[in-house]
Amino acid sequence: MPKATTTARDDRALLVETEERLVARWAAEGVAPDAVRGAVAAAVDRLAGARVHSFLPILVERRVRQELGRPGGLAAGA
């Protein structure tokens, strides 16, 4: 059976899907799309040195949800 691999293009597509999902979710909470995109970019930057990128989208999503959902996060200031 062939080994499943992802390319940088696949990784980027998954991150774009993650970002779109987060923008839609946080728009319902009154958070500006640019604020969500900024949080996604910051999370991606923090994880850029990761040796394994397979879990990057879920790790980015988790970090953004923690940042935007915590007291004092962007959602609290909206």
pLDDT score, position 71? 47
Q: Give the pLDDT mean for 4-33.
A: 86
Q: What angle do CA 51, 56, 58 make, to 5 degrees?
A: 145
Q: Domains of the chain: which residue ranges?
A: 8-77
| Residue among 26, 47, 28 at smallest CA distance from 14 | 47
Q: Give the pLDDT mean for 13-35.
A: 92
- Give the predicted TM-score (pTM) of the model: 0.75
pLDDT score, position 77? 53
List, for residues 29-74, the tens digit of each pLDDT value: 889 999 999 999 999 999 888 887 788 899 999 999 898 886 456 6
pLDDT score, position 32? 94
